[in-house]
Amino acid sequence: MLLPGAKEREKCLLWICKLCLPVRVGMFLVVMVSVGVLMIIMAGFSRVGDVSEISEVSGVSRLLQDRCSFAVSVPPDSSPNIRRDKGSMEELSPAKSNSDVSKNITQSHLPVIYESPSLRHPCEGFSFPPPPADKKRTGPRPCPVCYIPVEQAVALMPIAPSVPPILRNLTYASEEGSNPIESNSGSPFGGHPTLEQRNESFNIKESMTVHCGFVNGNRPGNGTGFDINVADLLEMEQCHGVVVASAIFGNYDILQQPRNISEIAKRNVCFYMFVDEETEAYIKNSSTLDSSNRVGIWRVVVVRNLPYVDARRTGKVPKLLLHRIFPNARFSLWIDGKLELVVDPYQILERFLWRKNATFAISRHYKRFDVFDEAEANKAAGKYDNTSIDYQIEFYKNEGLTHYSSAKLPITSDVPEGCVIIREHTPISNLFTCLWFNEVDRFTSRDQISFSTARDKIMSKVNWTVAMFMDCERRNFVVQGYHRDVLEQRAVKSNTSSGPVGHPPPPSLPKDSPLPDVLPDGAGGTTVKKAPPKQGRERRTSSRRLHPTLANGTENHSI
């Protein structure tokens, strides 16, 4: 028998248990539900991870199979593992786990597969080093550029052409559409487009027909002006991949041989040098031109029936209209005749086009960003008739041309350094160079002045732009020479040669006039007269233009 105190304690204990039992059950249920939800979530993550892993593997397999269809072969063991900057840039050999794929690509190159969840590009961590401390080294010079090995650049070449915005079909005006009556409307070679036709050509549509040179004849280069031998034209039609092109007219430059070109590029890239008959005669006297019209890596093509008296304007034909004379090429690299190419073209294309998903790339001027400043600099240097430059600038001002400012960002400049052009031959990039050429044909031959007008008019209509890179990067893959340096070298050669060179001496200049950057047609002889010493501002300007040629070497950073 329990004592009264014990009974009271027992009643209290029973009362407490009655109160706590529902709480315990509720807590137990809450814990069980939480555990169940957690298990479901973990199972879901596991399934997603499995699916993503399968998708990634299958995507890599498809990529491998797609790359197998590319026609260029690369030794499979030519891409070693390379580590750089404490692992910030890493490159791995291709995976070998897929035996079925590896059997099918024994003699083909493999794409680069990076051991990273996001498949990072090996140059992603690349950054420019600080400028040199030597204050004496002023002016433009090369800067480091991160290139990947040639075999990997080839593997990253796009299989399918880029899809252009809006424009799908681009055709070119023939002589039936020309109008030779209007004044100040270009040349017979360009077809004399009217102002109405010019304005309409900037109205981007799905199908377009525009003036783009070569308006006469049945095909570009055959009876059109800028005429090329039929055998050469047929050979040029066989270029289906990459074209590297240059030109020398008026015998102004020495033919420069590219350096550091890979065997794969030598076998698969078309290297073409366009010259006039005067330049051809000099090449025959100074170089070995074989039976296939080759000098080193260059295939030399002689152009006859030049469309312009001014050699500078004639040079704009191959520079801007390569897609017309290489109708089947996919990519092209244009370099002016004064430049020496020192980096493989596949590496250049990967760095400036494919890596950026761009279809047109050009370097911006190292110093000037404004068209008005560029026009004044051209006038001060005597690059062209000042009245013609003023007329062109006034025309563009009436159309809305303004000074460059930060309001134009992400556009970084209105003035290019146009001696190098890197592009994919898509309808929209072909249209751009056609319309840019039409501006050069209508106004002055100074293409830096007309570049931004053609670009901005197209950009206002479609989602497309020009990739502009730094001029120091351009100087990394081309070594720049100057026309006067060439004349001095030829004078030395003619003095040491026993046989005379059959070219007339350059005409004498007026006493107070500066030496032009480009001499008139027929110049380039065996003697060079030294210009009188310049004073003051004129002397300083000349020294800026004649800074020493920069050599390529440690500036290239290839990983």
Local confidence pLDDT in tens for the 559 residues of the chain: 445 566 676 666 666 656 555 656 667 677 777 777 777 777 655 444 443 333 333 333 333 333 333 333 333 333 333 333 333 333 333 333 333 333 333 233 333 444 444 578 889 888 877 766 666 666 788 999 999 999 999 999 999 999 989 999 999 998 754 555 555 578 999 999 999 999 999 999 999 999 999 999 889 999 999 999 999 999 999 999 999 999 999 998 889 999 999 999 999 999 999 999 999 999 988 877 888 899 999 999 999 999 999 999 999 999 999 999 999 999 999 999 999 999 999 999 999 999 999 999 999 999 999 999 999 999 999 989 999 999 999 999 999 999 999 999 999 999 999 999 999 999 999 999 999 999 999 999 999 999 999 999 999 999 999 999 999 999 999 998 766 455 666 567 666 655 544 444 444 444 444 433 333 333 333 333 444 444 443 333 333 333 333 333 334 555 5
The amino acid occupying position 408 is K
Cβ(441)–Cβ(310) below 8 Å: no
Q: Interior CA angle at 170 toward 168 and 174, to 5°? A: 165
Radius of gyration, alpha carbons of the chain? 32
Look up residue 245 and give its amino acid: A
SS3 label, residue 467: strand
What is the pTM for the complete model shown? 0.69
- Decide: helix, strand or coil at residue 202: coil
Neighbours of 552 (CB within 10 A): 18
CB-based contact 356:283 (threshold 8 Å): no
* 89 vs 112: CA distance, rounded Å: 13
Contacting residues for 52 by C-beta, under 8 A, at least 6 apart? none
User: Coil, helix or strand for 165?
Assistant: coil
Nearest to 388 by CA among 442, 440, 443, 310: 443
**Half-sphere exposure at residue 478, Cβ-oriented, CA atoms within 13 angstroms:** 25
Q: What is residue 10's three-state secondary structure?
A: helix
Distance in angstroms (rounded) separating the CA atoms of residues 105 and 95: 12
Q: 94 near 112, Cβ under 8 Å?
A: yes
User: Could you give the residue ranges of the DSSP H alpha helices within 420-559?
Assistant: 427-442, 447-459, 471-477, 483-496, 536-545
Q: Residue 412 carries which side chain, given as an amino acid letter?
A: T
Contact (Cβ atoms closer than 8 angstroms) between residue 415 and residue 367: no
